[in-house]
Structure 1
Amino acid sequence: MFRSFIIASIFAFSAVFCETCTKPEVTSTSFTTQDATIVTNIAYIADFTLKCSNGQVPPLYAEVNGNIVPVSVVGPNQYQISWTEDIKTARSGDKLVRVLDEDGFAAARKALRSGEDLSGVSSIADVVINYPGAYNGPWLKSELLATLVSLVVAYFAISFKLKVTA
């Protein structure tokens, strides 16, 4: 009985400590909404590959703008993080996404509960998404331009008619 308890403890202990990523290598690509003329939210997507020297990749989470979001597995060593922001609050520039393992996730949750800053939480890797901004349409809407042109044409038509009849 005692022997089986020790064997089970060793397996549980090794399972917990074998799931740590050592020497992570990250390559990433990112995508953002480019045209905001008909949408209300800006979408951010980061695709990245994570390779660990020991071959063990634990479950991953991400910290984005002070929020914890899940990391999706899309293939072998391929992961994806996505979220949206309102167009009014989305600012152009680099967005830092911190990739966390289970220990980092637990530390981040603890920091959020106690109201502490998340910058003290260590991450496995960082992914940077560059958001250049989105096209919101022309400065002058076509409806306004058409109204202005028709008013100018009407003004000249009426002024010429008054000159001809006078």
Structure 2
Amino acid sequence: GWSKLDSKVVRVKAATATAITLESIDTTDTQAFPVGGGAGTMRKVLTWVQIPQISDVAFSGGEQNYLDVVFLEDDQGKQIPTDKSAASMVLTLADDPIQDFNKVLMKADAGKQVEAARLNLPGNDTLLYGAYTSFSKQPAVSRNNLLTRTVNLALQAEPTRYLTAVV
């Protein structure tokens, strides 16, 4: 029911029969999170599937968009922040069709639903994403290079960052 949490992947800190507390999510701003407006649905992540042999991670989008405003009496225009552009992440990985993750990615691609994705950063930070997944069926082929495939993640919400690698 709260658009700032729509398609966002978060950890549950505590749960009762009537309420949940989300870890590192502050819902005290009643403008962004109106009282009584938080009804919605959730899906529990039961397991994570590791995608090994990643050779590159590329991010795009997520930049601030602006509304250009100039009044007749102004000598200088102004920019007012509005929303942010759609963001995506592309993983380039070795083409290894016997790996178990292939089935999971193919199912996510065909399902056209927001899925949970996790990126463990070097050190101890973890980023969680809600994303639509697209998995290339055809490997990229070029001379003297590894065969690769791509996983395109169309990010549907801002990532949630946690300072522990155990999720």
TM-score (norm 2): 0.24
Q: Over alpha carbons, which structure has the higher Rg?
A: 1
Higher helix share: 1
